[in-house]
């Protein structure tokens, strides 16, 4: 038992939520709440010397210590590959092959990675079976960034693609784990995408940290004290 607690503490120390970097032209914020002592969600930011910024969000199947150990291994691989991600389809292919080599047969990881050019507003991204991020325009229009390849850790030769979209000043990108949309209340109703998007639209002119706070406050009000079965992770990136 003592060994398990020590291992959990070490995982928590290594997997502390990433601090959002200060980058001209972008307002960033992130949030993570594990449903157990240690969680299986992960997010990170990668500022580059040319003003671009990379963002990652992953979710390991399962909960507790096994999921946390897998996420810690993924974190280490992403740290290496994200130093120079290049084409994101190739980036995701390499990450998947490395994950398949060490992933138990009953586990997999959903993962999203993107790079935002803060000068031009161009966003390149690749998705491995993760929830489609939400792009909320300054006008209030919202769209899901659909598309991508399968989850990490199942098929070593799985195909992935790089996609692109443009963010104008005032637009924001929202990454999230399914712990957000699948959060439940005492009646076992799910929070859902529609309510989530409405909160994002309502607070779209606020700073990124305030948007995160608004979503987590609305989630807490909705749940009304009901215990959650999944980790909750959220990243907000606004172009300013």
In the sheet that holds 26-33, the strands lie side by side as 26-33, 232-239, 172-176, 134-136, 142-144
Please identify which residue in the block is written with the tokens 């929070």.
191
Q: For domain 2-239, give the CATH number.
A: 3.60.40.10
Average pLDDT over residues 155-174: 96
pLDDT at residue 5 is higher than 70: no
4 vs 215, higher pLDDT? 215
Is pLDDT of 13 > 50?
Answer: no
Q: What is the spatial distance between Cα 46 and Cα 57, in angstroms, rounded to a whole number?
A: 12
> What count of other Cβ atoms lies within 10 Å of the Cβ of residue 106?
8
Is 0.85 topped by the overall pTM? yes
Q: What is the pLDDT of residue 7?
A: 47
- Over 90: is that where the pLDDT of 19 sits? no
Hey, CA dihedral for 113, 115, 121, 122, is it positive or negative? negative
Are the C-beta atoms of 116 and 237 separated by less than 8 Å?
Answer: yes
pLDDT at position 231 is 85
pLDDT tens, 33-69? 876 555 678 899 999 999 999 999 999 887 667 777 8
Query: What does the pLDDT read at residue 37?
Result: 52
d(CA 20, CA 30): 7
Structural domain boundaries of the chain? Answer: 2-239
63-107 tens-digit pLDDT? 667 777 888 888 999 999 999 999 999 999 999 999 998 887 778
End-to-end CA distance of the chain: 49
d(CA 52, CA 83): 12
Residues 6+ apart with CB under 8 A from 16: none
What proportion of the chain, given as a percentage, has pLDDT over 90?
Answer: 71
Distance CA 159, CA 177 (A): 22
- Residue in 136, 163, 165 with CA at minimum distance from that of residue 147: 163
Going by C-beta distance under 8 Å and a sequence separation of 6 or more, which residues neighbour residue 15? 38, 39, 42, 68, 71, 72, 75
């Amino acid at each position: 038992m003592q060994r398990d607690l020590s291992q959990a503490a070490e995982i928590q120390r290594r997997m502390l939520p990433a601090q959002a970097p200060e980058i001209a032209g972008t307002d960033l914020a992130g949030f993570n709440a594990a449903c157990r002592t240690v969680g299986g969600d992960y997010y990170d930011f990668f500022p580059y010397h040319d003003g671009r910024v990379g963002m990652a969000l992953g979710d390991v199947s399962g909960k507790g210590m096994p999921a946390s150990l897998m996420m810690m291994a993924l974190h280490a691989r992403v740290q290496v590959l994200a130093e120079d991600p290049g084409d994101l389809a190739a980036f995701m292919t390499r990450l998947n092959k490395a994950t398949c080599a060490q992933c138990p047969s009953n586990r997999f990881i959903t993962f999203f990675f993107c790079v935002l050019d803060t000068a031009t507003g161009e966003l390149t991204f690749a998705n491995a079976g993760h929830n489609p991020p939400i792009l909320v325009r300054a006008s209030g229009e919202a769209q899901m960034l659909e598309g991508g390849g399968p989850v990490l850790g199942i098929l070593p030769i799985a195909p992935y693609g790089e996609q692109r979209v443009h963010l104008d000043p005032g637009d924001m990108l929202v990454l999230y784990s399914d712990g957000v949309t699948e959060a439940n209340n005492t009646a076992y109703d799910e929070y859902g995408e529609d309510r989530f998007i409405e909160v994002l639209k309502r607070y779209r002119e606020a700073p990124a940290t305030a948007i995160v706070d608004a979503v987590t406050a609305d989630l807490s009000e909705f749940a009304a004290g009901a215990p959650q079965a999944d980790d909750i992770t959220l990243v907000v990136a606004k172009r300013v």
